[in-house]
């Protein structure tokens, strides 16, 4: 029965009025409900109460803040908008869906399709159109992991400024100092820190100013601000970082520090001129995120002992490899902090200096004025160092100096661009390092990736699908004994059978199901056997053989033990170890 007929039946409107409403619905293409609300015949909640009674379906009230992101994402935003339906809770594989038009066959079809695709069953309730709209608005907000701060921001915008861009530097300067702009920038920064974003991008698009956050390695869109405040927002950030606000044609770098939630946070700012105007990228240097303690890196079992052993020695080169964003710097900082004791002179050469660590002499290279890695390294060696950290070995000269430093009684740490540990020695040879010098200097090669860590509050246990169970079993079968033991230890502590965990999402983790990241590692040690290979035939095949002989766990194997331990998901590990070599 049509809702208009229900109103007639309840004596709220007469048949004539009903006819007019039907006609309006037909001619306008609106739903009867929309026409009734537009004509203000009855209030929205009353109308939907009647509808619920007629459909024998409960009418639910849901607050946006109660919906975890993982649940919300089970129905794509576009489908939710178009079919007027939104998921609001999930229990034991059943998804609770709020629908405005549950009687609509097209919406029913769409839901069936999504349920098949997403492998869930659904339970439908009726919700008010206004509830749906406010939930849809939450979609973006939730995705950014921030909640209130963004609302504040939007209110600030609504309160508004003059509807035009400032003309001239003087007017820009005045605007930048005004409360809404300073407050807006503060809100963006606070939101990033509270949402645990690692980077903030403020970038002009054709007709707006977009703010994006990188969370656990992924970039999330987007808060859209009016384009007219582009200049003012960017200038405010530049003032904070002590950059020239009247220079927008060339890139500038700077940093600033501020206290958020009683925590001193550093922000590293870099500007970049684009065709659409200046863009700003801000790296959030939250010490809670970037300065992990040694124990929290994810080094376990044999890996942990190898690193501990190597840093006890008086000299030797430790190289960490992995792509950008794989956590190399975090690992190096964590190790440096272990070595950071009175009586040890630690000097670092970085590009750029990320976290400032009390007690370590950190120096920033400035290639543009001739102070590059080689120049800096020569200088460092005159500073009587015990431990040296060099940001990256990327040229022959740095490679040769790093090797030289390790040979002359220093512990040297650096990073190198190779996919895995097997490639480290060939890469050093490529950079012209003499093979006779590699065997006595190189102590450890570490390769790593970052995987997202499951939120302990909400992760859910699951029996793995057949394919996954097989994959895990196969990988463990060929893993070295020490890895098999670690896996058995993890499994022995639990009930029988392999189980893995999946992310769910709760308030604690902002609905993502994940909380922070952890490293997966592989570590190759210099042994007499490896020394011989380096001297005779350092091919990747021979080095891989030696890795196997050492009982080295590959990053994938290390990751799988972490999956069995419920630390991360199998998807995370497989994604990060796609290109992995098979030993
Ligand atoms: Zn959680």
443 Cα–ligand 1 center, Å? 40
Highest mean pLDDT out of 157-171, 225-239, 397-411: 397-411
417 Cα–ligand 1 center, Å? 34
Task: Look at residue 51 in the predicted model and tell me its pLDDT.
Answer: 93
388 Cα–ligand 1 center, Å? 40
36 Cα–ligand 1 center, Å? 42
Average pLDDT, the chain: 86
370 Cα–ligand 1 center, Å? 49
323 Cα–ligand 1 center, Å? 28
For the segment 478-490, the average pLDDT, to the nearest whole number, is 87
Q: Percent of the chain scored above 70 by pLDDT?
A: 90
The number of beta carbons lying within 10 Å of the beta carbon of residue 572 is: 25
Task: Give the separation between CA 483 and CA 478, rounded to whole angstroms.
Answer: 10
CATH number of 291-576: 3.40.50.300
90 Cα–ligand 1 center, Å? 14
- Cis bond upstream, residue 239 (ω within 30): no
510 Cα–ligand 1 center, Å? 7
Strand partners, 470: none
The number of beta carbons lying within 10 Å of the beta carbon of residue 504 is: 19
Task: Give the separation between CA 506 and CA 67, rounded to whole angstroms.
Answer: 9
Q: With contact defined as beta carbons under 8 Å apart, do 265 and 257 qualify? A: yes
pLDDT at 32 over 80: yes
198 Cα–ligand 1 center, Å? 19
pLDDT at 377 over 50: yes
Residue by residue, DSSP assigns 366-386 as BGGGTB-HHHHHHHHHTT--S
22 Cα–ligand 1 center, Å? 48
194 Cα–ligand 1 center, Å? 15
pLDDT at 157 over 60: no
Give the pLDDT band of residue 456 (cuts 50, 70, 90): very high
Fold of 144-287: Beta-Lactamase (3.30.450)
Give the pLDDT band of residue 81 (cuts 50, 70, 90): confident
299 Cα–ligand 1 center, Å? 24
69 Cα–ligand 1 center, Å? 10
569 Cα–ligand 1 center, Å? 14
452 Cα–ligand 1 center, Å? 12
519 Cα–ligand 1 center, Å? 20
504 Cα–ligand 1 center, Å? 7
454 Cα–ligand 1 center, Å? 8
Strand partners, 320: 415, 446
483 Cα–ligand 1 center, Å? 29
564 Cα–ligand 1 center, Å? 19
459 Cα–ligand 1 center, Å? 7
Q: Which residues have CB under 8 Å from 53's CB, separation 6+? A: none
Task: Look at residue 153 in the predicted model and tell me its pLDDT.
Answer: 56
Q: Percent of the chain scored above 90 by pLDDT?
A: 47
Residue by residue, DSSP assigns 489-532 as HHHHTS-SS--EEE----TTTTTSSEEEEEEEEEEEE--HHHHH
Tokens linked to 538: 């350092």
471 Cα–ligand 1 center, Å? 27
Q: Is the pTM of this model over 0.75?
A: no
70 Cα–ligand 1 center, Å? 10
196 Cα–ligand 1 center, Å? 14
For the segment 78-87, the average pLDDT, to the nearest whole number, is 86
pLDDT at 149 over 70: no
Query: Which of the pair, 237 or 142, is modelled with greater confidence?
Result: 237
Burial class (CB in 10 A: 0-12, 13-18, 19+), 461: exposed
CATH number of 57-131: 3.30.300.160
287 Cα–ligand 1 center, Å? 22
Tokens linked to 18: 């009903």
Task: Give the separation between CA 73 and CA 284, rounded to whole angstroms.
Answer: 27
515 Cα–ligand 1 center, Å? 7
pLDDT at 144 over 70: no
146 Cα–ligand 1 center, Å? 15
Task: Look at residue 280 in the predicted model and tell me its pLDDT.
Answer: 95
The number of beta carbons lying within 10 Å of the beta carbon of residue 583 is: 18
205 Cα–ligand 1 center, Å? 34
pLDDT at 161 over 60: no
134 Cα–ligand 1 center, Å? 23
Highest mean pLDDT out of 160-174, 251-265, 538-552: 538-552
pLDDT tens per residue across span 464-475? 888 998 999 899
503 Cα–ligand 1 center, Å? 8
Query: Which of the pair, 216 or 568, is modelled with greater confidence?
Result: 568
Q: Which residues have CB under 8 Å from 95's CB, separation 6+? A: 71, 74, 87, 89, 115, 118, 120, 121, 122, 123
502 Cα–ligand 1 center, Å? 11
156 Cα–ligand 1 center, Å? 31
214 Cα–ligand 1 center, Å? 19
Task: Look at residue 52 in the predicted model and tell me its pLDDT.
Answer: 93
68 Cα–ligand 1 center, Å? 9
460 Cα–ligand 1 center, Å? 10
pLDDT tens per residue across span 307-345? 999 988 878 999 999 998 899 999 999 999 889 887 889
Task: Give the separation between CA 43 and CA 288, rounded to whole angstroms.
Answer: 50
94 Cα–ligand 1 center, Å? 19
The number of beta carbons lying within 10 Å of the beta carbon of residue 157 is: 16
44 Cα–ligand 1 center, Å? 35
DSSP element (H, E) containing 192: helix 179-194
pLDDT at 578 over 70: yes
542 Cα–ligand 1 center, Å? 44
Task: Look at residue 576 in the predicted model and tell me its pLDDT.
Answer: 93
88 Cα–ligand 1 center, Å? 16
């Amino acid at each position: 029965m049509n809702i208009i007929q229900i109103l007639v039946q309840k004596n709220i409107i007469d048949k004539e009025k009903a006819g007019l409403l039907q006609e309006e619905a037909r001619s306008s293409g609106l739903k009867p409900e929309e026409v009734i609300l537009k004509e203000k015949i009855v209030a929205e909640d009353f109308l939907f109460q009647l509808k619920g009674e007629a459909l024998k379906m409960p009418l639910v009230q849901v607050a946006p803040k109660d919906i975890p992101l993982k649940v919300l994402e089970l129905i794509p935003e576009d489908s939710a908008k178009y079919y007027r339906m939104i998921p609001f809770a999930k229990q034991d594989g059943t998804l609770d869906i709020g629908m405005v038009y549950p009687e609509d066959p097209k919406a029913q079809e769409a839901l069936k399709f999504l349920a098949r695709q997403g492998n869930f069953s659904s339970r439908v309730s009726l919700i008010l159109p206004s509830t749906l709209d406010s939930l849809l608005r939450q979609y973006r907000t939730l995705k950014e992991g921030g909640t209130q701060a963004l609302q504040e921001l939007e209110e600030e915008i609504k309160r508004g400024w003059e509807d035009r861009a400032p003309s001239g530097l003087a007017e820009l300067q005045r605007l930048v100092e005004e409360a809404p702009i300073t407050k807006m920038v503060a809100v963006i920064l606070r939101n990033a820190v509270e949402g645990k974003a690692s980077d903030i991008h403020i970038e002009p698009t054709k007709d707006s100013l977009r703010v994006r956050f990188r969370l656990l390695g992924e970039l999330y869109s987007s808060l859209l601000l009016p384009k007219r405040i582009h200049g003012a927002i960017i200038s405010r950030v530049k003032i904070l970082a002590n950059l020239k606000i009247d220079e927008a044609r060339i890139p500038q770098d700077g940093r600033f520090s501020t206290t958020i939630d009683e925590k001193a946070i550093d922000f590293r700012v870099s500007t970049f001129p684009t065709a659409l105007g200046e863009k700003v990228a801000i790296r959030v240097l939250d010490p809670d995120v970037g300065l992990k303690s040694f124990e929290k890196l994810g080094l376990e079992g044999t890996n942990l002992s190898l690193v501990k052993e190597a840093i006890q020695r008086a000299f030797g080169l430790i190289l960490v490899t992995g792509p950008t964003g794989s956590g190399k710097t975090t690992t190096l900082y964590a190790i440096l902090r272990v070595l950071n004791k009175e009586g040890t002179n630690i000097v670092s050469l970085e590009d750029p200096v990320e976290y400032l660590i009390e007690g370590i002499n950190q120096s920033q290279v400035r290639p543009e004025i001739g102070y590059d890695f080689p120049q800096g390294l020569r200088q460092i060696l005159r500073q009587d160092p015990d431990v040296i950290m060099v940001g990256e070995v990327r040229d022959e000269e740095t490679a040769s100096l790093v090797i030289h430093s390790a040979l002359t009684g220093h512990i040297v740490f650096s990073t190198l661009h190779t996919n895995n540990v097997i490639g480290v020695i060939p890469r050093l040879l490529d950079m012209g390092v003499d093979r006779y010098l590699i065997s006595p200097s190189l102590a450890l090669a570490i390769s790593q990736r970052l995987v997202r860590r499951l939120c302990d509050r909400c992760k859910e246990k699951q029996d793995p699908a057949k394919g996954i169970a097989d994959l895990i079993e196969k990988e463990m079968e060929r893993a070295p004994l020490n890895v098999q033991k670690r896996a058995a230890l993890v499994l022995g502590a639990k009930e029988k059978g392999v189980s893995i965990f999946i992310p769910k999402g709760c308030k604690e983790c902002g609905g993502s199901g994940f909380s922070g990241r952890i490293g997966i590692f592989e570590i190759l040690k210099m042994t007499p056997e490896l020394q011989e290979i380096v001297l005779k035939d350092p091919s990747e095949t021979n080095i891989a053989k030696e890795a196997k002989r050492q009982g080295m766990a590959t990053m994938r194997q290390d990751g799988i033990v972490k999956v069995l331990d419920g630390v991360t998901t199998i998807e995370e590990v497989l994604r990060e170890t796609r290109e992995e070599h098979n030993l």
